[in-house]
Chains A and B, each alone.
Chain A
Amino acid sequence: MTTSALTRMISRSLLAPTLIVALAILVKGYASVGDGFSAGVVAALGILLQMLAFGRDQVTADLPIHRAPLVAMTGLFIGFAVLAVPVLTGGAPLEHWPPPDEKPIYLGTVELITAVVFDIGVFLLVLGSCVKVIDALAGAAAEDDA
């Protein structure tokens, strides 16, 4: 993989902003454009950019890429947990908290509601899945070259 020093520098300095944008899309999702799905894809694209610039071996050494399936399954687990917990306490499946007539708890301007927890599950699943698929394809391509 031969990329210029400039490409590598720009790619590396874009990683943190990409992840922060993803996080913003996730957190702000309930109030404005974006949701867990978009956030997950943005974050995965950030990691894909690193792979293109530095090659899979370097990125695997720098970032915990091998955890991607774990991240994905954690997301799925969170999704199902949000589904199951209300049932255990006597509600309907996927019933969100707080109910319509109650005020949510505020952390600054961030509202604590279970729908956002659900969206975080979606985010983790999409991020993990995309990264795993990209990594699998890149790994197979690397083996072909070898």
Chain B
Amino acid sequence: MSGGPTKPAVSGSAAAAIGAAAVLLVAVAVLWASGGGRIDLPWAPAWDLRLAFGVDGLAALYWYLAAGVGVLVFTYASAYVPRHLAHDERPRAEEWRVHAAMTLFLVSMVGLVTSEDLILLFVFWDLTAIASWLLIGFDRQKREARLFALMALLITTVSAVLMLIGILMLRAEYGTTQLPELFRLAEPGTTVAVAAGFIAVSALAKSAQVPLHFWLPRAMAAPTPVSAYLHSAAMVAAGVFLISRIHPLLALEPALLDALLVIGLASMALGGVLSLAADEFKRLLAFSTVSQYGYVTAMLGVGGSAGAAAACFYVLAHALAKSALFMTAGAVTEATGTKLLSESGGLARRMPLLAAGAGAAAAGIAALPLTIGFFKDELFFKAAAERGTWLAILAVLGAGLTFAYMARFWAGIFLGAPKGDVQHVERRLVWPVAFLGALVVVGGVVVAPFADLARSAADVTNGGPVDLKVAYHLDTRTENLMALGAWATGLLLFAGHAVITPALRWVERAGDAMGPERLYWGGLRLLNDLSDRAHDFEIRDLRSRVAAVIVPGGGLVALGVVLTPTAGAYAVGSFETEDIALGVTLVVCAIAAIAVTFPRGHLALALMLSGVGFALATAYALIGASDVALVAVLIETIFALLFVGVYALVPQQVLRREARRVEGRSRMVRDLVIAVASGIVTTLVVWSALSRPIPVDGMAERHIELADDAHGQDVVTVILADFRGLDTLVEITVVGVAMIIVAAAVRTRTRA
């Protein structure tokens, strides 16, 4: 490579995405400064749905994060994505896909956090899942990216079905999906407990909490800016957002809060351990995210004023720092070409600004003083200590793990002996990291604005005012002692990393061998096998399967004919001269139908069949059913041509062999008996039906009367488009699906 990649300018699509994020950032700043706002418009009033959006503290917090981090990450992406595409030798024009999906994500996220209606919230929830699927699978030429995008989609949307069930349970019980109404009406009970539990499961899956955590490290197949956005400030944050949002419902059932606490602690521990074991930057950061959102989940499980305050502040501090770290990983990989800690080192001298920004961010996650992270742990320790000693001990251990893996990440990249060459990278890959790093430090000094935002969010979560006070205290209060304990534990783990590595690796392997991810793959394989088996069963013996439907059906009709009273059933009408034409047509039709049974060649058979159809169409025309006649002619024409087209695809020798095949004698007799019997029964049925007097007040007359009201004169068309419109809609859907299947089947055949 000579001179490295050229400096790409910001493309139009990237600029549009950055602009959209900036506009949304200004919007939330204005809205929140002016005291929030509400929109409430009717939406599908027939189903009692409303477009109800409101900006409260909780919405403002997550909106700020999504839009603010969005501006920085989108700027970073404007330099990163062209490089990413160039590495894979893809045209730069594909860049817009990332920016468009990221913007879709941002907008859905804003919709999600401001929704006051659970159905609306569900819609945005699934929109974020779709956007994330597009983003994780951006490298669609890579099998891994496709598989893991699907994994993230399935885990988050299948669990979202549980959420929908929960929402509908609440609606059935209280007759509304409006959150303020629900909070007012809901009372402790089984319905609320189960419904809130279902919603919480879906939220935990989105936040990658144990045991549904495995999709997050896999989602690292996404380009780095996507990880920096979705997996720090947006997608995984949506899960804890939802738990915060419905917290008043969860709080009605103490068992649910306890479950949250246990799941949160398990995620914190497992994420921390696996993060410490990881060698890949992004894998380390992904498990760190699992662990950090474990803290938040645990705090939401603790609940109350202290828990809500800690959770909301934690989300804020973590999102700022974590997105900076993801962007650091991407910038380092671009500069050195490696993704592994074991292959990097000594970058501090070569990339001082990146080192400083990443250092501040890492210190923020590790909760060192003079960063905003210190306060997140202060609140966390306070809430944990209030709950009990055992939780305080676990909190210190968890924070120690966090300190250790953050130290490993930063020291592994920036300290030690330099390894390998360093390529020049654009400033846009560095300064968003530096900016966020600076913000983490500013938050450690001037914490009031951040604390205010977190407090208003916590007020909403707690359903009442919370006590959120943060400051440095130079004394021996519990929180400070716990922090010291955490740093000591962290230093110990960091220093003794080489000693504990075998144990960490063992946990990692045990997780791979027995973890829930195996269940996912197993379940997917099972579904695939089931679908294959159903498919094979469906296409084997097509003829006998069709017969299995038609023969019993025909038998029942025959039974009906035998049992029906014959009085007046088989009347013989008169035959007028004007009926001659119709009679001749029907005779032609009958001759053609009998002739169908003789030809051996496939083409002749197809043409005979359409001969029957054309004769029948003529009969329709003669009895004045012009609409039906037109459709019949057209259908016969296009079907005859399709038959010819399909025959052209069948190898000639197969057609010839099939045409020459002589059936056994017994089989011919059987076919003859079936044909004659069904012919007789059909004749009798039609004859008796035509002998009955026409019903006077049938639907036909009603339709003709109503056609005028529907502004139409052609009754058939009015029935199709208006009276029976739903049927038509379903039918055209079937036509569309059939088109997709035919196109896919033909393509598969050609490939084979």
Contacts and interface: CB of A to CB of B under 8 A. Distances in A.
Q: Which of B42, B627, B635, B736 counts the most chain A CB atoms within 10 A?
A: B736
Main secondary structure of the interface of B (DSSP, over half): helix
Given A35-B627, A129-B738, A136-B742, A94 B714 contact: no
A94 B43 contact: no
Q: Which of A25, A38, A115 counts the most chain B CB atoms within 10 A?
A: A115
Nearest to B716: A35
Main secondary structure of the interface of A (DSSP, over half): helix
A100 B706 CA distance: 9
Interface stretch (A3-11, A12-20, A57-65, A85-93): A85-93
B713 interface: yes
B718 to A, nearest CB: 7
Interface in B252-295: none
A53 interface: no
Contact of B743 (A25, A83, A101, A133): A133
A118 interface: yes
Contacts of B742: 132-133, 136
Given A35-B627, A38-B631, A94 B725 contact: yes
B648 interface: yes
Interface stretch (B75-83, B599-607, B639-647): B639-647
B630 interface: yes
Interface string A114-129: 0110110110011011
B711 interface: yes
B710 interface: yes
B546 interface: no
A23 interface: no
Nearest to A98: B711
B583 interface: no
A133 B423 CA distance: 52
B47 interface: yes
A141 interface: yes
B648 A125 contact: no
B45 interface: yes
A136 B626 CA distance: 32
A132 B737 CA distance: 12
Contacts of B716: 35
A32 to B, nearest CB: 6
B191 interface: no
B728 A136 contact: no
B45 A122 contact: no
A133 B642 contact: yes
A127 to B, nearest CB: 11
A141 B645 contact: yes
B722 interface: yes
Contacts of B709: 100-101
B86 interface: no
B743 A134 contact: no
B638 A137 contact: no
Interface string B709-747: 111111011101110011011001101101110110011
10 contacts: A35-B721, A41-B637, A96-B725, A98-B711, A115-B711, A118-B721, A121-B732, A129-B739, A141-B649, A144-B649
9 nearest A-B residue pairs (beta carbon): A100-B709, A129-B739, A137-B645, A90-B45, A41-B634, A35-B717, A115-B721, A136-B746, A30-B712
